[in-house]
Chain A
């Protein structure tokens, strides 16, 4: 069973601060995704990284995929209260049917204090 460990598990910071969330695994994934989930809702895709070493930016969010495609990080600059939520990384492996199976990380619950 592939395991994706996220750290920190919980993070509570003041508005305007920067933060980094890490996603680590001993397994190699073909690609990796980051999601944000609000309470009582399904997860919403933020980004997909495919190439080792790839960096993608989405406004104040910067995502990086490790060179060995085993780890990833999410950096948020000048955090806003709207960034509050559960952040999940998900590693992608191909299933027997050729469709991608997602293995979700343990999650990071982020709270931005106004």
Chain B
């Protein structure tokens, strides 16, 4: 159980275009989804946290107008990279969690990632 999928697994786009990445929780309802970015040979950096039905909370330094996040349902969140540039090329990973009993740890389940290359 607790499977998270991402689509597409990889995408190549031209500079100036927009790209949408989907993150789905397949067998559970995710109250919270997280979006991370990972550059080659580096660690994961949290970009934003989104709760279903509300606006995403972005980390410092992440442009909310460039990285649009929509968490429209309990099983789907999307990240749209607008006006992509080569420096946006990266590995984008989402994770999903659901609320457990009070005091419990809300484990994050990670998707397989999406490799974005902007030419």
Q: Which of A40, A88, A105 has the most chain B CB atoms inside 10 A of its CB?
A: A40
Q: Per-residue CB proximity of B12-45 to A under 8 Å, as 1/0?
A: 0000000000000000000110101000011111
State whether the Cβ of B108 lies closer than 8 Å to any Cβ in chain A.
yes
Closest approach, in angstroms, between the C-beta of B114 and any C-beta of chain A?
10
**With a CB–CB cut-off of 8 A, which chain B residues contact A113?**
none
Known: A88-B44, A95-B57. A44 touches B110 (CB 8 A): yes
Cα distance, A48 to B108, chains bound together (Å): 11
User: In the complex where A99-B32, A102-B34 touch, is A42 in contact with B106 (Cβ < 8 A)?
Assistant: no
Chain A residues within an 8 Å CB radius of B111 = 42
Using CB atoms, name the residue of chain B closest to A4. Answer: B43
Shortest Cβ distance from B9 into A: residue: A40
B23 nearest CB across to chain A (Å)? 11
Quote the shortest CB–CB distance from B43 to chain A (angstroms): 4
Partner of A101, one of B49, B51, B110, B113: B49
Given contacts A41-B113, A97-B51, contact A102 B105 (CB under 8 A): no
Docked Cα-Cα span, A106 to B97, in Å, equals 23
Instruction: Check A105 against B110 for contact (C-beta < 8 Å).
Output: no
Q: How far is the CA of A32 from the CA of B34 in the complex (A)?
A: 17
User: A88-B43, A107-B42 given as contacts; is B60 within 8 A of A1 (CB)?
Assistant: yes
Q: Is B7 an interface residue when CB atoms closer than 8 A count as contact? A: no
Please give, as numbers and ranges, the residues of chain A lying within 8 Å of B110 by CB-CB distance: 42-44
B→A interface (CB under 8 Å) = 4, 31-32, 34, 36, 41-46, 49, 51, 57, 60, 91, 93, 95, 97, 99, 105-108, 110-113, 115
